[in-house]
Chains A and B, each alone.
Chain A
């Protein structure tokens, strides 16, 4: 995998080739916990998008002023502030979902993806490069979570429900499927099983792509 040279390549890398969850294998804990429903995955993805954007933006803007020995401190300070803002926003606007996500939104502070991107890209790159990276990784994270969530929710709950506080629900799959649902899919073992299979498939596709391209 060649190092990205343009901003667009940086963005695309975060989506697929360097997907933070499926390739870099970072942020596994929230991935396992929050992928039990598509709604949770989307809201979590939105929160991470916001935090990653602000973190990369601020780190990049201040990159020439951050002294090396305080950089981790500054990263953590920035990330913690924006996670708190994201948490307050979720609690104000999508209260039910924020209760379901529970401690995992505050735990974004220690999500390795965000601090890794600050350390690897934002501290040494210009604003647009850093933003491209943030958006690529955030959308890649959301994508990975949604793939897992779709599988788990379809098999485990018999359908996908994206229910808003306003009372809007979207149910896919006939109710007849529900007695055949594998409840284990929405529980922790299902998370590990689904993640393992998806990573296996991704690795296989990447290996095949590498062989074909060489």
Chain B
């Protein structure tokens, strides 16, 4: 199958991207280098082409209500302009995809999903009672991330009102007469903004941002190390078919008060507490845990590494692991099977100095 290219493919190629296959998309894994890009996002600002992700609009309160029935979070009481992280569930309560929803107004919910299960999500949401409008093809998504991201956007000419956005909020804005959506959100642990732009202006904005002295283009590699240091899960890697929101450590994103698909099964699981949970791990050297490695405690297998890499901002190996609940306790030391490597169970975020919640006004 031929790999899909985003509308920013030529831009990324000109910026020096090295491309890989990511869920059927031809996307840049790095430009200058993963560590350079990672550290630049932590200290200045980086831009990411995230146009492979899915975007949907859900129109009307009854449809938003029905969508809420398919997710572990309840969007009905969500105030306009506020974002909510949740999971779209299968009938058995397992996660089909994790996503973010934001009400653009009382009657319109904007939902952002991942590239991996996009077709499944689209066929679940669009022809069903939710009657969602799939606008993925009409949108270029650029994430601008880093402590300098707000200044970069203001200097590039974005609406000064964005300075008023608090963490995890967003709304409709304009760029030279074109309607755009901006949220103050991200996947890096730094102050950052996600721009949802009509395809017609995407490339111009990429070029404008990338020419800013404090901005570096960044690839999937840095996106992965940044999110792993924060303990943010990646669907398709940390969250696999059969993983429930409880296993994904999404407890605080479950609204038990509302009725949703698979709720009874999740309640049963909650009461059993014999399941594995997604947990932060770190090493005490530069050696990293790696995806798919088995984890052992007192000679018995207690889990598996789902994400692992060197964490450039913490200087040690960092990762996420699916662990038996009994060992998923911060401070516990576990062994990587067949390797001379110990990992310590730890709280997330592993990197603690992120600017994501920074007050900007």
Q: Do A and B come from one complex?
A: no
Which B residues are closer than 8 A to A by beta carbons?
none
